């Protein structure tokens, strides 16, 4: 009888510690832990709605994460010129910057979902294939697909299930979204 009570106390302490760090594991089944990725759109300007849509897409396509507006593990910003990009501090933590001018040429939802993909551990894949979310702008301005390919979603699930060390280092992703000619900046 004493062991289950101790286990509950330890589980409660672990959950409280993780919550204070902004990461909460919720046991959905014996083999599945879901990590909350808390995002903040207070600085997203006109892209806040796209961030909410992108979070819904990632929630629908993955099993091990739950993205919600519950904190600031992931901050969403916007800028005028210079390019869209993501900076990942660790798996599920960092910030995304959406370039207003690029979002006039490329699908803003695709850009947002792609950039959040970096925060979730995915790297760029400049192969021009519109079916792959992480091909970014290399798929052209006509590509509006905001959905991760099943292999991309499976990779995110795998990293969040195992907390892969490969996705834990700080990394800046300057993407394949060519800067708009009107912005005057080339990347």
Three-class secondary structure of residue 124 per DSSP:
coil
Query: Distance between CA 119 and CA 83 in Å, rounded?
Result: 17
| Long-range own/partner contacts, residues 17-23 (CB < 8 A, 24 or more apart) | 22/71, 22/72, 22/73, 22/93, 23/73, 23/92
Three-class secondary structure of residue 20 per DSSP:
helix
| Catalytically annotated residues | 115
């Amino acid at each position: 009888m004493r062991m289950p009570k101790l286990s509950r106390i330890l589980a409660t302490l672990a959950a409280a510690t993780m919550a204070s760090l902004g990461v909460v594991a919720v046991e959905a089944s014996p083999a599945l832990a879901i990590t909350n990725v808390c995002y903040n759109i207070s600085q997203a300007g006109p892209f806040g709605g796209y961030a909410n849509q992108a979070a819904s897409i990632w929630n629908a396509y993955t099993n091990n994460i739950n993205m919600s507006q519950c904190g600031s593990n992931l901050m969403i910003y916007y800028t005028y010129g210079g390019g869209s990009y993501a900076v990942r501090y660790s798996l599920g933590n960092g910030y995304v910057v959406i370039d207003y001018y690029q979002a006039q040429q490329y699908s803003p939802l695709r850009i947002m979902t792609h950039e959040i993909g970096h925060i979730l551990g995915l790297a760029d894949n400049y192969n021009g294939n519109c079916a792959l979310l992480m091909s970014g702008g290399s798929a052209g301005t006509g590509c509006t697909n905001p959905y991760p390919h099943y292999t991309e979603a499976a990779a995110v699930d795998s990293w969040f299930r195992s907390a892969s060390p490969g996705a834990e280092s700080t990394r800046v992703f300057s993407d394949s979204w060519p800067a708009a000619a009107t912005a005057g900046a080339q990347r």
